[in-house]
Amino acid sequence: MTSPSLPSMALKSPALTVRLLGLILNKAESVADISFTLDDGTGRIDINRWVNEFSDANEVAAIQNGMYVRVDAHMKGFQGKRHAFSVRPVTDFNDIVLHFIECIYVHFETGLKALACREVQKGVPAWMQTNPITSTPFSNRVKGYHAPLTNQSSAFSSTDRSGNDAYNLVLGVFQEPAILHQDFVC
């Protein structure tokens, strides 16, 4: 999440609903709805939860500021706010740890893709980086022509400066006497 709303990439996603996990902040209740800010550690987003039935009122009554919750919400909101149809307290706190691990993974994954794209484009002539139909540069979101990365290689075929195959080097480490297991009887 980014502040104050979801990333533009997520807003253009074909998915209509999302499941978010975060900390409740600024909870405000009214007769018809509850509004709050959800902070997942990467950003904040404002969410409304309409209270239509008695079961809805029971669900939102248990929610307090500072509580971790799982929210199922619609991506596109009304008047700039996302509307949740389910707000439930987190019962397994491993979900919170998993969420932060996923955030770290996504951060590195998107960063590495952008870096790889820039590295690839350094070796590609400018005329190949331009869409020939529109005469505009390819963006990272458009699938254009990209040359293969020059440093891609298989571990079984790569060699070091002395000509040793990487496979044989690794195999040699495992066959060294210091690595072999010995049982000591006391």
Secondary structure (DSSP) of 127-146: GGGEETTTTEEPPTTS----
Backbone angles phi, psi at 144, to 5 degrees: -110, -170
Q: Is position 78 within any domain?
A: yes
Indicate whether 84 and 156 sit together in one domain.
no
Q: Residue 47's pLDDT is what?
A: 85
pLDDT at 170: 66
Res 3: pLDDT = 39
Planar angle of CA 60, 65, 69, nearest 5 degrees: 60
Number of domains present in the structure of the chain:
2
79 lies in a domain? Answer: yes
Q: Could you give the CA distance from residue 37 to residue 22 in angstroms, rounded to a whole number?
A: 9
Domain presence at residue 107 = no
Residue type, 7: P
| pLDDT, one tens digit for every residue, the chain (186 residues) | 543 444 444 445 555 778 888 999 998 888 888 888 888 888 888 888 877 776 667 777 788 888 999 988 876 666 666 778 888 888 888 888 888 888 888 888 877 776 666 665 666 555 555 555 555 665 544 444 444 444 444 444 445 555 556 667 666 666 665 544 444 444
In a domain, 128, yes or no: no
Q: Which of 71, 91, 111 is the last residue of a domain?
A: 91
In a domain, 170, yes or no: yes
* Cα 126 to Cα 151: distance, rounded to the nearest angstrom: 21
**pLDDT attached to residue 68:** 92
pLDDT at 166: 67
Structural domain range at position 70: 8-91
Domain end position, chosen among 24, 57, 91: 91
- Domain membership of residue 51 (yes or no) is yes
Strand 82-89 to 44-50 pairing: parallel
Residue 140 to residue 4: CA distance in whole angstroms: 24
Among 58, 76, 91, the domain-final residue is 91
- CATH code for the domain in which residue 59 is found: 2.40.50.140
**For residue 175, what pLDDT is reported?**
65
If you search the block for the tokens 């690839």, which residue do you land on?
120
What is the model's pLDDT at position 157?
46
